[in-house]
Amino acid sequence: MPGFMKRVSKTAGLVPGALVYVGEEKTGKPKITVIDYDEKGFQEKEIASVEECFPFKETPTVTWVNIDGIHDTEVIEKIGRHFNLHPLTLEDIVDTGQRPKYEDLEQYIFIVLKMLYCEEGTCDITVEQVSMILADNYVISFQEKEGDVFNVVRDRIRNAKGRVRKMGADYLAYSLLDAVVDGYFLILEKMGDRIEDMEETLVNNPDPAVLETIYGLKQDTIFLRKSVWPLREVVNGLTRGESDLIRKETHAFLRDVYDHTIQVIETIETFRDMVSGMLDIYLSSISNKMNEVMKVLTIIATIFIPLTFIAGIYGMNFNPENSPYNMPELNWRFGYLGAWGVMLLVALGMLIYFKRKKWL
Amino acid sequence: MPGFMKRVSKTAGLVPGALVYVGEEKTGKPKITVIDYDEKGFQEKEIASVEECFPFKETPTVTWVNIDGIHDTEVIEKIGRHFNLHPLTLEDIVDTGQRPKYEDLEQYIFIVLKMLYCEEGTCDITVEQVSMILADNYVISFQEKEGDVFNVVRDRIRNAKGRVRKMGADYLAYSLLDAVVDGYFLILEKMGDRIEDMEETLVNNPDPAVLETIYGLKQDTIFLRKSVWPLREVVNGLTRGESDLIRKETHAFLRDVYDHTIQVIETIETFRDMVSGMLDIYLSSISNKMNEVMKVLTIIATIFIPLTFIAGIYGMNFNPENSPYNMPELNWRFGYLGAWGVMLLVALGMLIYFKRKKWL
Amino acid sequence: MPGFMKRVSKTAGLVPGALVYVGEEKTGKPKITVIDYDEKGFQEKEIASVEECFPFKETPTVTWVNIDGIHDTEVIEKIGRHFNLHPLTLEDIVDTGQRPKYEDLEQYIFIVLKMLYCEEGTCDITVEQVSMILADNYVISFQEKEGDVFNVVRDRIRNAKGRVRKMGADYLAYSLLDAVVDGYFLILEKMGDRIEDMEETLVNNPDPAVLETIYGLKQDTIFLRKSVWPLREVVNGLTRGESDLIRKETHAFLRDVYDHTIQVIETIETFRDMVSGMLDIYLSSISNKMNEVMKVLTIIATIFIPLTFIAGIYGMNFNPENSPYNMPELNWRFGYLGAWGVMLLVALGMLIYFKRKKWL
Amino acid sequence: MPGFMKRVSKTAGLVPGALVYVGEEKTGKPKITVIDYDEKGFQEKEIASVEECFPFKETPTVTWVNIDGIHDTEVIEKIGRHFNLHPLTLEDIVDTGQRPKYEDLEQYIFIVLKMLYCEEGTCDITVEQVSMILADNYVISFQEKEGDVFNVVRDRIRNAKGRVRKMGADYLAYSLLDAVVDGYFLILEKMGDRIEDMEETLVNNPDPAVLETIYGLKQDTIFLRKSVWPLREVVNGLTRGESDLIRKETHAFLRDVYDHTIQVIETIETFRDMVSGMLDIYLSSISNKMNEVMKVLTIIATIFIPLTFIAGIYGMNFNPENSPYNMPELNWRFGYLGAWGVMLLVALGMLIYFKRKKWL
Amino acid sequence: MPGFMKRVSKTAGLVPGALVYVGEEKTGKPKITVIDYDEKGFQEKEIASVEECFPFKETPTVTWVNIDGIHDTEVIEKIGRHFNLHPLTLEDIVDTGQRPKYEDLEQYIFIVLKMLYCEEGTCDITVEQVSMILADNYVISFQEKEGDVFNVVRDRIRNAKGRVRKMGADYLAYSLLDAVVDGYFLILEKMGDRIEDMEETLVNNPDPAVLETIYGLKQDTIFLRKSVWPLREVVNGLTRGESDLIRKETHAFLRDVYDHTIQVIETIETFRDMVSGMLDIYLSSISNKMNEVMKVLTIIATIFIPLTFIAGIYGMNFNPENSPYNMPELNWRFGYLGAWGVMLLVALGMLIYFKRKKWL
């Protein structure tokens, strides 16, 4: 659960609006790329200093500024000053402990999202905060580190694929949102696979390691829930369409993202139910196994303990010479065989009893 | 859980509105049938190419175009272009990972449903997506594969049974919806039977196989819930009657379907409660059985272990000849019988103790 | 769970509005009684054919037509045609798998209720569907079989007891509804008794039979919930008072029924909580008992196993004549007594240990 | 759970509005006291017959009629007739199975409350129904039996303490309500003590008696919930301030009672959570203890069973004289000591094994 | 759970509005500090008697009166009289059993909060009530004891850091609220650490002490929930912005606190889920361990009990001299070795059986 509680010790007690980066230590300049396009033209460049992207603010074309790396609060501050962002917006951008949220500040819409990745191999889930500023003709997006999740959008702009080049900044913001939500499906797919694997193990060969995996899955669903639930309000806020920044044509697309978000949430809930069902089954199957172990012990012990007792009887050393009542059986012709006979009868009786109890 | 997560790897990152079929691989042309009717006349034909159904769009009669097979995205695209459907509608038609939904696009109403089948024999539940376009005077329905669930509607049209021939396209859409919801009752009936069977086994003869069945039933209710819950909103959306495409006379019928949907949902919830109650009972009865096993073991062991000890005492070889204190009992006249007596007393005492503890 | 899923196989796929009786097979004519009254007069008669009740429709007096037996769909159909009922209303009357519902069709109000009976002796709960048509000056009630639940209302009309003769058809409908809800209290009282009995058994003498009773109680609460919950909406629908058919004076009485309904629902929820609490307690007390069984076994085994071992030692046949090291104890003067002494010490040590562990 | 289901057998099937007292059998006249006051004066008297209180109805002063004992339905009926109360109000007053409710009948407000008492010593919770009629210038309160819960209010009126003498009948009603809600805090405090005691026992010395106490606490929270939850609606109904009978100055005080009610409800919910948490802990600690018992048994058995086997071996009577292969160990010089050596090694090995498993 | 139920015995039955301090016994005068500032100037002083702060009420500057210690009800009363506070407000200030609440009394806004501290070392959570009066140009805050949580705000005012000096009393109130909510994050961080520690112990080395810690964590989440949930309504009440006392510029900041409150609540819910997941895992792992113990016992017992029986057989003393059928094996040449052979075979068979059962 990375980033759960990081916020605290660094920012508690600070002036509201103070910019404090709370993520992992990092150095190096953030990478800033600008893509500027309209239906006819398109240019893309990586810029060295923030100031280079300021001129684009005034152009009628759609501008997308993407900042990879939010640890350099000076850059964020400059952008904030130039694009006229509220101090609390800036605080939220660098505070990676934020929950997904949507805020309509009239001049611009501010969106915070959580991007989820599945680590290669282990499939531990890591989380990255993505913020977006959507204004009339530009979008500014902030990522914690370089990632390839927005590449599909970049490609579409470059190749004028789909309708992205024909539409405004709101459609661009939608495309980025869609890319993030699509990422959730990949996580869900992998979780689904793990659950299916688990189900088979559970039925065929439940062992204590299962427990740890179930626990891991449970924690993952709790974590996913926490990350994705607020997204519903975010997308819903956009869909309600109360802001002028979102054109009418884009609403159908936003509703589509909303449907996907609901689908993600429902799938998480389903996973939760399934995982908690698996725990019940696991507990039952442990009980079952213990029951079986107990039965084996009981059968063996219950058959042999009486037999051992009988053998013990005739191992006693009472002296037959001193008294005719002292173990006369020892001198009978068929004493030994008789003893065996009794023992076999006892064993047989027990077996029949167990058979009837359905323990065998 | 077929079709749970299929959507992902194929469509993530694509241009929104891209048509990608995500179901099982399939070849062959989709089967397209057109039924055109009004109160007086009726014609039905299977057509070879999509274009043949386009003329019906303009006729005043009610037209029902049914497409079995949505893997041929080209066909879907042609229909979309001719009937003027939104690209996202087309995307949803071919994306079988969709959740049930209702969308009012003014020109037409778009409905996505889940049809549930019970496999013969095993009664595994399979799911098929059905989409419907309801416009002023036509209905277009899309199925993943040929099925007989709509045959009852076809028969009624052919034979002018009921009021379907006298009413409009909205009544036709209602009839198809009703047919799908009726299918759910069949599933529920079969699940109800399985639960009743299970109940009897549970009481008479609980064994570990029960566990697997309970787990299966639980997963089935989770799966059903996920499929049927959103249906409520769908039918509710239709019933609210905000669209002009749905005439006033049809509302009473839609309310009827709504009632059935609620009944389906409530029955699923009831099944959920019952299945989870069964798991509790199963766990309790395992505990009970283990308790009984333990008691048998304890009774046998507790009676015979002391007896064996006594027998062991008199099997010791202390030499009575060296000392009068060394096991004088061995030479007593009634030593052996006395030993038996002591053993019987111990056994009897134990039995009385168990009797009092109500273990016998 | 009678009548849970009956609807399915008989009606699925039929024309909506088709009249299909889905209850138990039955023959014989339904019994139809007509009571016609106003403040001054009163007449009551059993009629042989439906048509006889038609004239009453037009009279200004309040008319109550009661039909016992809904298997004869022809009778229902005739009534439907004469009293101008919607086909779906008729379908719902004969379909006994309906959930309680309230429908305001302007001309009349249609109510479906579930009457619950406790079977004598076993106290299995059986359910009967009661439908009512409330129009301006008549009430038509449909029961599956003859019953005495409405007799209290009949008596009041006959004897002009209470205010029923002074008020309209809406008050009559209220009285019938009240009679049905009063019936629920009887069921709840019997369930309450069973729960109280159970509680005492649980504390004094929990045995596996308890488990079956708890399971039965649980299923009963699930079943009751399913039957009574929708009633809330029904009575609420009537109470909201949007229909002209319900006079202002009747509202206070309907609110009273509403209060009773809430009370029934709350009591069912309370029973649910109590029954599930009982299962927890039962599970705990099984665990407790198993713990006690284990302790007895452990104490006996832990004391006697070491003793038997010591006895076993001196039952070995090492030859003391061949070597002075071979079991010299056997020839010691106090060997035997010493062995006893050691054994007593071991036993005593064990007992002290158990005492300290608070197992004794 | 007294009074849970009493209503049933006595009142089911009666004419609505019939006055039937359903509480415990009782005789004797109810005690009626009248307190009449305004800012200047105050008089208090116990009256012998109901009629004596009727004149106060017309005076401009605030009048409080308190009736202790509602089993005498004739008294109630007289009051009802004189003060013009609705028959259903009267029915609710004497029907002690009522749930808390608030009804605004324009002429007067009718309130039903549940007063809870903790029995001395056992702390079983008993419940008493209190009804109140609040009209323009009088309050009539009905109690099942004489109690001292309203004495604090009486004292304040007598001594002109607080603002009660300066305000109207609505403030008096508020004061009575407040006195009832204050009584709940006493119950909660006692329950809180029991829970705290329990917690300590749970940690230090869990025994089966704990189970019964937990069950008792659970039933109590269920019962409290059922009694207090509807109170929220009652106080909320009063607070919403839609009735003219409640003056503006009283609203702040009613909101205060509302806050207290919420606090009571939240505390009950917290107790519920805590009690159910205690059951979980209890179950876990039983499992823990059983585990420990099992370990002791296993350690003793696992060490001594192999040793006893070895001793058993050398207790066999194979004849060494007939064959050199028959138990030559018996004649070895160090046979006996060797046997002991082997046994000690086995025991030591076992102990090391258990040490490593952390069982010791 | 300190302060849970303290309210009761001291205040029940008192006149509403009576000032009764219900916290721990305390003596000494409360410490009163006044900070008065505007954009230009600033003064701060500790005053000896309440009256000294009264003149500030009329100044146009923002005044913050902080009272540490509410046990001296006389001081509270004086303030109440001078600042014209409602008696119920005063009652709530000194009644530390209050739940967080927001009340808009038009003249001023009254806020009750719970401040949570983590005790050094043990990390038991203690709670302190903080009340605030927000009027047009002053804020009065009441704390149970001196604390440093408001120091950050004091520092900002002293040093004119941030915008606090430029804004009004509403921003000051916001700053105090923010300081309290920031304190929650510290608690959550510590709880998060404890949960993480616990998780590791759970996996590596679950022992009974774990149970107590889990129980403690569970009680803490219950307690936190109870304290923080109502805060949501408080902040929401402020954010809705219906009061004129809260300026438009402050809304964005209040929304920020609201977001933090939601984050705190969600984290508590997540902790709840995680802790209850841990209990499940703990229970499962106890079962697992018991299973393992049982297996060891069963394997040892099941192997050695039959062997001991065989040894017992040949320890019997049947006299071979009296009958050729009496234990002839004892005189066989390979009798002893044969016996060993049989025993080894039995042991081997058992081992293979366990291997197949996967118990080894």
Domain coordinates of chain B in residue numbers? 7-284, 286-356
Name the residue facing E16 among D162, D280, D281 (closest C-beta).
D162
Q: Which residues contact C28 (CB under 8 A, 6 or more apart)?
A: C69
Residues C45 and C58: their CA atoms lie apart, in Å, by: 17
pLDDT at B24: 67
What pTM was estimated for this model as a whole?
0.81
Residue A56 has pLDDT above 70, yes or no: yes
DSSP string, D171-230: HHHHHHHHHHHHHHHHHHHHHHHHHHHHHHHHHH---HHHHHHHHHHHHHHHHHHHHHHH
Residues E196 and E194: their CA atoms lie apart, in Å, by: 5
Dihedral angle sign, alpha carbons of residues A162, A166, A171, A172? positive
Q: What is the CATH number of domain E287-356?
A: 1.20.58.340
Provide the β-strand partners of residue D125: D118
Q: How confident is the model at residue E72 (pLDDT cuts 50, 70, 90)?
A: confident
**pLDDT (mean) for C179-194:** 88
Residues E36 and A346: their CA atoms lie apart, in Å, by: 98
Interface test with A, best of B308, B317, B326, B327 (most A CBs within 10 A): B308
Backbone angles phi, psi at C3, to 5 degrees: 75, 10
pLDDT at B318: 86
B103 Cβ under 8 Å from any chain A Cβ = yes
E209 Cβ under 8 Å from any chain D Cβ = no
Q: How confident is the model at residue A3 (pLDDT cuts 50, 70, 90)?
A: very low
DSSP string, C95-137: -TTPPPEEEE-SS-EEEEEEEEEEPTTT--EEEEEEEEEE-SS
pLDDT at D11: 58
Q: What pLDDT digit, counting tens, does each position of A85-123 carry?
A: 998 899 889 888 888 988 888 889 999 999 888 777 666
Q: How confident is the model at residue B20 (pLDDT cuts 50, 70, 90)?
A: confident
Name the residue facing A317 among B16, B283, B317 (closest C-beta).
B317
Provide the β-strand partners of residue B196: none
CATH topology of domain D7-284: Beta Polymerase; domain 2 (3.30.460)
Subunits in contact with chain B (3 or more CB pairs closer than 8 Å): A, C
C294 and D296 within 8 Å at the Cβ level: the answer is: no
Q: How confident is the model at residue C9 (pLDDT cuts 50, 70, 90)?
A: very low
Residue B152 has pLDDT above 90, yes or no: no
Subunits in contact with chain E (3 or more CB pairs closer than 8 Å): A, D
CB atoms under 10 Å from CB of C356, counted, come to 9
- Which residues, numbered 310 to 339 in chain B, qualify as contacts with chain A under a Cβ-Cβ cut-off of 8 Å? 311-312, 314-317, 327, 329-337, 339
Tokens 């409908």 belong to which residue? C173
Residue D345 has pLDDT above 90, yes or no: yes
pLDDT at B3: 41
Specify whether the CB–CB gap between B13 and A179 falls below 8 A.
yes
Backbone angles phi, psi at C142, to 5 degrees: -120, 125
Tokens 């996920």 belong to which residue? B226
pLDDT at E141: 94
Q: Which residue has the higher pLDDT, D332 or E28?
A: D332
Q: What pLDDT digit, counting tens, does each position of A119-133 carry?
A: 776 667 888 899 999
Q: How confident is the model at residue D173 (pLDDT cuts 50, 70, 90)?
A: very high
E281 Cβ under 8 Å from any chain D Cβ = no
Residues E323 and E314: their CA atoms lie apart, in Å, by: 16
Name the residue facing C290 among B259, B291, B313 (closest C-beta).
B291
For residue C276, give how far its alpha carbon lies from the nearest alpha carbon of chain B (Å).
9
Q: How confident is the model at residue D105 (pLDDT cuts 50, 70, 90)?
A: confident
CB < 8 Å to E215, chain D: 277, 281
Residues B236 and B227: their CA atoms lie apart, in Å, by: 16
Residues B21 and B73: their CA atoms lie apart, in Å, by: 7
Size of interface D-E (CB pairs under 8 A): 163
pLDDT at B161: 79
A356 Cβ under 8 Å from any chain B Cβ = no
CB < 8 Å to E273, chain A: 222
CB atoms under 10 Å from CB of C71, counted, come to 20
Tokens 């300081």 belong to which residue? E179
Residue E214 has pLDDT above 80, yes or no: yes
CB < 8 Å to B330, chain A: 317-319, 322, 326
Q: Of B201-215, C63-77, C207-221, D64-78, which gets the smallest average pLDDT? A: B201-215
* Residue burial D261-291, b: 16+ Cβ < 10 Å; e: rest: bbbbbebbbbbbbbbbbbbbbbbbbbbbbbb
Residues D236 and D185: their CA atoms lie apart, in Å, by: 19
Q: What pLDDT digit, counting tens, does each position of A131-171 carry?
A: 999 998 899 999 988 877 888 899 889 888 778 888 889 99
For residue A39, give how far its alpha carbon lies from the nearest alpha carbon of chain E (Å).
37
Most confident range (mean pLDDT) of A163-172, C16-25, C283-292, E239-248 is: A163-172
Burial environment of residue B159 by CB neighbours within 10 A (0 to 12, 13 to 18, 19 or more): exposed
**What Rg do the C-alpha atoms of chain D give, in angstroms?**
36
- Which residues, numbered 79 to 98 in chain C, qualify as contacts with chain B under a Cβ-Cβ cut-off of 8 Å? 86, 88, 91, 97-98
For residue E329, give how far its alpha carbon lies from the nearest alpha carbon of chain D (Å).
8
CB < 8 Å to E178, chain A: 16
B283 and A287 within 8 Å at the Cβ level: the answer is: yes
Q: Copy the structure tokens of residue D76.
A: 């109630």
**pLDDT (mean) for D55-76:** 88
**pLDDT (mean) for A6-16:** 56
Q: What pLDDT digit, counting tens, does each position of B273-321 carry?
A: 888 888 888 888 888 888 888 888 889 988 999 999 999 998 888 888 8
- The ipTM, to two decimals, is 0.76
pLDDT at C4: 44
For residue B312, give how far its alpha carbon lies from the nearest alpha carbon of chain A (Å).
6
Q: What is the 3-state secondary structure (H, E, C) of chain E?
A: CCCCCCHHHHHCCCCCCCCCCCCCCCCCCCEEEEEEECCCCEEEEEECCHHHHHHHHHCCCEEEEEEECCCCHHHHHHHHHHHCCCHHHHHHHHCCCCCCEEEECCCCEEEEEEEEEECCCCCCEEEEEEEEEECCCEEEEEECCCCCCCHHHHHHHHCCCCCHHHCCHHHHHHHHHHHHHHHHHHHHHHHHHHHHHHHHHHHHCCCHHHHHHHHHHHHHHHHHHHHHHHHHHHHHHHHCCCCCCCCHHHHHHHHHHHHHHHHHHHHHHHHHHHHHHHHHHHHHHHHHHHHHHHHHHHHHHHHHHHHHHHHHHCCCCCCCCCCCCCCHHHHCCCHHHHHHHHHHHHHHHHHHHHHHCCCC
* Residue burial E61-75, b: 16+ Cβ < 10 Å; e: rest: bbbbbbbbbbbbbeb
Name the residue facing B301 among C14, C91, C297 (closest C-beta).
C297
Q: Which residues contact B358 (CB under 8 A, 6 or more apart)?
A: C205
Closest chain C residue to D6 measured between Cα atoms?
C189
Closest chain D residue to E102 measured between Cα atoms?
D259
CB atoms under 10 Å from CB of B178, counted, come to 22
Q: Copy the structure tokens of residue B218.
A: 């639980």
Q: Could you tell me the CA-to-CA distances from D48 to B161, D32, D53 in Å, in that order?
A: 78, 7, 10
Residue B170 has pLDDT above 50, yes or no: yes
pLDDT at A12: 59
B203 and C212 within 8 Å at the Cβ level: the answer is: yes
Residues D127 and B80: their CA atoms lie apart, in Å, by: 69
Q: Could you tell me the CA-to-CA distances from E294 to A329, B287, B300, D328, E308 in Å, in that order?
A: 40, 15, 18, 38, 20
Q: What pLDDT digit, counting tens, does each position of E80-124 carry?
A: 999 999 988 998 898 888 889 888 888 899 999 998 887 776 667
For residue B184, give how far its alpha carbon lies from the nearest alpha carbon of chain C (Å).
9
Provide the β-strand partners of residue B33: B46, B66
Q: What pLDDT digit, counting tens, does each position of A213-241 carry?
A: 888 888 888 888 888 888 888 888 888 86
Residues D249 and D257: their CA atoms lie apart, in Å, by: 14
pLDDT at C12: 59
Name the residue facing D192 among E4, E101, E337 (closest C-beta).
E4
Percent of chain A exceeding pLDDT 90 equals 23
B283 Cβ under 8 Å from any chain C Cβ = yes
Q: What pLDDT digit, counting tens, does each position of D271-305 carry?
A: 988 888 888 888 888 888 888 888 888 899 889 99
Residue B6 has pLDDT above 60, yes or no: no
Q: Could you tell me the CA-to-CA distances from A347 to A89, A344, D349 in Å, in that order?
A: 82, 5, 33
CB < 8 Å to B251, chain C: none
Q: What pLDDT digit, counting tens, does each position of E31-44 carry?
A: 899 999 988 888 89
Task: Reply yes or no on domain B286-356 having CATH 1.20.58.340.
Answer: yes
E311 and D306 within 8 Å at the Cβ level: the answer is: no
For residue B311, give how far its alpha carbon lies from the nearest alpha carbon of chain C (Å).
9
Residues C233 and C236: their CA atoms lie apart, in Å, by: 5
Percent of chain D exceeding pLDDT 70 equals 92
Q: Which residues contact C151 (CB under 8 A, 6 or more apart)?
A: none
pLDDT at B202: 79
Q: How confident is the model at residue B113 (pLDDT cuts 50, 70, 90)?
A: very high
Q: How confident is the model at residue B5 (pLDDT cuts 50, 70, 90)?
A: very low
**pLDDT (mean) for B129-152:** 89
Residues A177 and A257: their CA atoms lie apart, in Å, by: 8
Name the residue facing D291 among E91, E289, E330 (closest C-beta).
E289
Q: Is D311 helix (H, G, I), strand (E, B) or coil?
A: helix
Please name which of B192, B206, A291 lies closest in space to residue C212, comparing C-alpha atoms.
Answer: B206
Name the residue facing A13 among E182, E267, E358 (closest C-beta).
E182
**pLDDT (mean) for E219-237:** 87
Specify whether the CB–CB gap between C254 and C235 falls below 8 A.
yes
Q: Of B203-217, D51-65, D151-165, E50-64, which gets the smallest average pLDDT? A: B203-217
Beta strand ranges found along C13-121 (DSSP E): 31-37, 42-47, 62-68, 101-104, 109-118
Q: What pLDDT digit, counting tens, does each position of C119-171 carry?
A: 776 667 888 899 999 998 899 999 988 877 888 899 889 888 778 888 889 99
C311 and B315 within 8 Å at the Cβ level: the answer is: yes
Specify whether the CB–CB gap between B310 and B341 falls below 8 A.
no
Q: What pLDDT digit, counting tens, does each position of A291-337 carry?
A: 888 888 889 988 999 999 999 998 888 888 878 888 888 888 888 88
Q: Which residue has the higher pLDDT, B8 or E120?
A: E120
HSE at residue D44, side-chain half, CA atoms within 13 A, is 8
HSE at residue B228, side-chain half, CA atoms within 13 A, is 27
- Any idea what DSSP says for residue A119? P
Subunits in contact with chain D (3 or more CB pairs closer than 8 Å): C, E
CATH topology of domain D290-356: Methane Monooxygenase Hydroxylase; Chain G, domain 1 (1.20.58)
Q: Which residue has the higher pLDDT, B10 or E172?
A: E172
Percent of chain C exceeding pLDDT 70 equals 92
B300 and A305 within 8 Å at the Cβ level: the answer is: yes
pLDDT at D7: 44
CB atoms under 10 Å from CB of C21, counted, come to 20
